[in-house]
A and B are shown apart, each in its own frame.
Chain A
Amino acid sequence: MASDAVAGTAVVDSVADVGALPDIARREPGGWLVPAAAALVVAALPFFVSPYGQDLVLRIAVYAIFALSLELLVGATGLVSLGHAAFLGIGAYATVLGSGSDGASLAWLLPLAVAAAAAYAVVVGALSLRTRGVYFIMVTLAFAQMAYFVVHDTKAAGGSDGIFLYAKPTLAIGSTTLVDLGNRAALYYAVLVALAFTYAFIAMLLASRFGHALAGIRVNEQRMRAAGFATTPYKLAAFVVAGALAGLAGFLLAVKDGAVNPELLSWHESGAVLLMLIFGGIGSLRGAVLGAVTFTLLKELFQSEALLGPLAPHWQLTLGLTIIAFVAALPRGLIGIGAQLRALARERAARAARNAA
């Protein structure tokens, strides 16, 4: 049977058969059914859930897009970026700045936001990819911080207070409005469609030859170069696509919240999205989404006075301790629980066999 190995920490069964396709030895149980079922459930939610709940679901969905975009970089290509929030923020700011006071057409505002994020990603990627490992982490953080300062210190960008989105974008042909993102229901389903698109798009990329090349670069870049791959353009492409998709998340966040502020580009935001990936499990698209759900809900929980009373203001403490416990105990995330339990069981069996002998 296919092993559900999670990339980054290769778990390998003793005799494994990867099936009929020349696959990367990773197959998630249920195939397409699980994500499709989840999408249906979420699509039906507005009929059962309060507006606050819907807003929470939207927030999770937008962060899921954000997390998926980073998964392409961290999980698939093995590049740990600590500055991904910059692209989220740039997409968001481009959306608000581009809307002006009259609102704008979805048709060009969305591409603008994505293009702005992608443009910054080209510059940051080209420079950062000259470094490796720990340097790369630090450099991506620094470039995000630079974007943070630009946005924070520039009056035109509203300074530390940020700016409001005065009119939500619409899509119109002639005088008929097809989509009005100011409408709550329209926004809800637009976000869901964007999430489904992002998930499917990244899944397609990962299954393609390009995606397999990225995986090769992650596992053994030296071997890829020896086989004739100029690895930097591949990494840069992944970086830019990841940045562009984060820009998409930024666009949706700006429309949903109706405002942007510099904290969107802060390293806390970059740290949060990395945490989502590790909570869910690196190397898995479902893990990225699951991680976004988990992290957002945990943060809601820890900040909730209703549920945690006096502990609520000290949510940084509870969250910090939870992160430490989680990463220490479940380095492969929630998705990897199955594999981790199986590995434990195998170890226990092996130890028992050795003791019996």
Chain B
Amino acid sequence: MDLATFLVQCLNAVQYGLLLFLVASGLTLIFGIMGVINLAHGSFYMLGAYLAFALAPWFGDWFVTRLVAGVALAAIFGYLLEWAFFSFLYERDHLQQVLLTYALILVFEELRSILVGNDVHGVPAPSWLGGGFRLGSLMEYPWYRVFASAACLVVALALYAVVQKTRLGMMIRAGASNRDMVRGLGVDIRRLYRIVFAGGVALAALAGMIAAPLSSVYPNMGASVLIICFVVVVIGGIGSITGALIASLLVGFVDTFGKVFFAEWSGVGIYLLMAIVLIWRPEGLMKRGF
């Protein structure tokens, strides 16, 4: 493998990992704060992708605006969904949460099928992000992928800033380590949950929107992302954003380079990684906390 190809794969790995991080951070936040395991989280990713597709004709090249609009819509959707459905899940045991959110996936998939159909759609990247820059003599790395990585990095930093430096972030961190205490301190826990949930949905949807031009929009795209996110959360530790970041990047690298070196069995790579982490450190790479 020559240097240019290697660099390209590294960039791909980072970009994939950062996208995963967006989705996984939402998942781990929702579980860490509210204690809800949400199988439908992948559907929010799918929602984002389909939003990118649906909003494309309205926004044209105003890509960033489209992203912002999509995120806003997703956040509103998440807020309402929490109020209508998820708030009833907090008191139930894990098995019921698993099955109820599984049913939600079925409902979402079917609604999508009814509203938008089952075709695979391509979403074009905005023209000002077209083309790429040369790497070596043969490779051209697309600007859009650079944008994707950069956007995810910006969001990751923003997330870090919110969680570590704001009052909301403090409540989130407190809620992650001791839910009952936060409630006892008089924080409006219901509002907090709703905001966190909406945030998680928005993160996943944003990831879907950014990924749409890269991987097209197709049914069941949520399912594969979800399971990989589970692997990320297991490796990184529940409730830990930093852990999710490290784990996402790890998974990104193992998956990308796995596909290069072990074409036929590449799908197995990340699960082997998970198995190794389980043998070595069952609680995840980062202990509890952020």
- State the A residues within 8 Å of B (CB): 8, 74, 80, 82, 127-128, 130-131, 133-135, 137-139, 141-143, 145-146, 149-150, 152-155, 267, 271, 274-275, 278, 282, 314, 316-317, 319-321, 323-324, 327-328, 331
Nearest chain B CB to A299's CB is how many angstroms away?
11
Residue of B nearest to A278 (CB): B99
* A133 to B223 alpha-carbon distance, docked (Å): 21
Residue of A nearest to B88 (CB): A328
Residues of B contacting A320 with CB < 8 Å? 103-107, 110
Q: Which 5 pairs between the two chains have the least Cβ-Cβ distance? A: A320-B106, A149-B267, A146-B271, A317-B110, A323-B103
| CB-based contact A154/B264 at 8 Å | yes
The B1-43 residues at the A interface (CB cut-off 8 A) are: 31, 37
Q: Known: A142-B271, A316-B109. Is A150-B234 also a contact (CB below 8 A)?
A: no
Residue of A nearest to B267 (CB): A149
| CB-based contact B274/A324 at 8 Å | no
Nearest chain A CB to B130's CB is how many angstroms away?
33
Nearest chain A CB to B128's CB is how many angstroms away?
38
Q: Is B218 an interface residue (CB 8 A)?
A: no
The B95-111 residues at the A interface (CB cut-off 8 A) are: 95-96, 98-100, 102-107, 109-111
**16 A-B contact pairs sorted by A residue (CB < 8 Å):** A80-B98, A127-B279, A134-B238, A138-B233, A142-B231, A143-B271, A146-B268, A146-B272, A267-B223, A274-B99, A282-B95, A316-B107, A316-B110, A321-B107, A323-B99, A324-B104
Nearest chain A CB to B187's CB is how many angstroms away?
24
Pick the residue among B99, B110, B265, B272 that contacts A271 (CB under 8 A).
Answer: B99
Most buried by A among B96, B111, B227: B227
The B56-81 residues at the A interface (CB cut-off 8 A) are: none
Q: Is B83 an interface residue (CB 8 A)?
A: no
Q: Known: A127-B275, A131-B282, A271-B102. Is A142-B268 also a contact (CB below 8 A)?
A: no
Residue of B nearest to A148 (CB): B267
Pick the residue among B31, B102, B106, B265 that contacts A134 (CB under 8 A).
Answer: B31
Q: Known: A130-B282, A314-B113. Is A142-B92 also a contact (CB below 8 A)?
A: no
* A278 to B92 alpha-carbon distance, docked (Å): 13
Residues of A contacting B284 with CB < 8 Å? 135
Residues of A contacting B37 with CB < 8 Å? 134, 137-138
Q: How many A-B residue pairs have CB under 8 A?
A: 121
Pick the residue among A139, A155, A319 that contacts B106 (CB under 8 A).
Answer: A319
Pick the residue among A134, A141, A267 that contacts B94 (CB under 8 A).
Answer: A134
Pick the residue among A130, A319, A327 that contacts B100 (CB under 8 A).
Answer: A327
Residues of B contacting A316 with CB < 8 Å? 106-107, 109-110, 113
Q: Known: A131-B234, A141-B227, A150-B268. Is A323-B98 also a contact (CB below 8 A)?
A: no
Nearest chain A CB to B253's CB is how many angstroms away?
18
Residues of B contacting A135 with CB < 8 Å? 234, 238, 282, 284
Instruction: State the interface size on chain B (CB cutoff 8 A).
Output: 42
Residues of A contacting B107 with CB < 8 Å? 316-317, 320-321, 324
Residues of A contacting B94 with CB < 8 Å? 80, 133-134, 137
Nearest chain A CB to B190's CB is how many angstroms away?
19
| CB-based contact B103/A321 at 8 Å | yes
Known: A138-B233, A146-B268, A271-B102. 20 other contacts (CB 8 A): A80-B94, A128-B278, A130-B282, A131-B278, A134-B37, A137-B94, A138-B230, A139-B278, A143-B271, A145-B271, A149-B265, A150-B265, A271-B98, A271-B99, A316-B109, A324-B100, A324-B103, A327-B99, A327-B103, A328-B100
Residues of B contacting A317 with CB < 8 Å? 106-107, 110-111, 114
Residue of B nearest to A143 (CB): B271
Residues of B contacting A143 with CB < 8 Å? 271, 275
* A19 to B218 alpha-carbon distance, docked (Å): 59
* A153 to B264 alpha-carbon distance, docked (Å): 6
Most buried by B among A137, A138, A145, A150: A138
Residues of A contacting B105 with CB < 8 Å? 320
Nearest chain B CB to A312's CB is how many angstroms away?
12
Residues of B contacting A127 with CB < 8 Å? 275, 278-279
| CB-based contact A278/B95 at 8 Å | yes
Residues of B contacting A146 with CB < 8 Å? 267-268, 271-272
Residues of B contacting A153 with CB < 8 Å? 264-267
Residue of A nearest to B266 (CB): A153
The B256-277 residues at the A interface (CB cut-off 8 A) are: 264-268, 271-272, 274-275
Nearest chain A CB to B264's CB is how many angstroms away?
6
Pick the residue among B93, B98, B104 that contacts A274 (CB under 8 A).
Answer: B98
Nearest chain A CB to B114's CB is how many angstroms away?
7
Residues of A contacting B274 with CB < 8 Å? 139, 142
Residues of B contacting A141 with CB < 8 Å? 227, 230
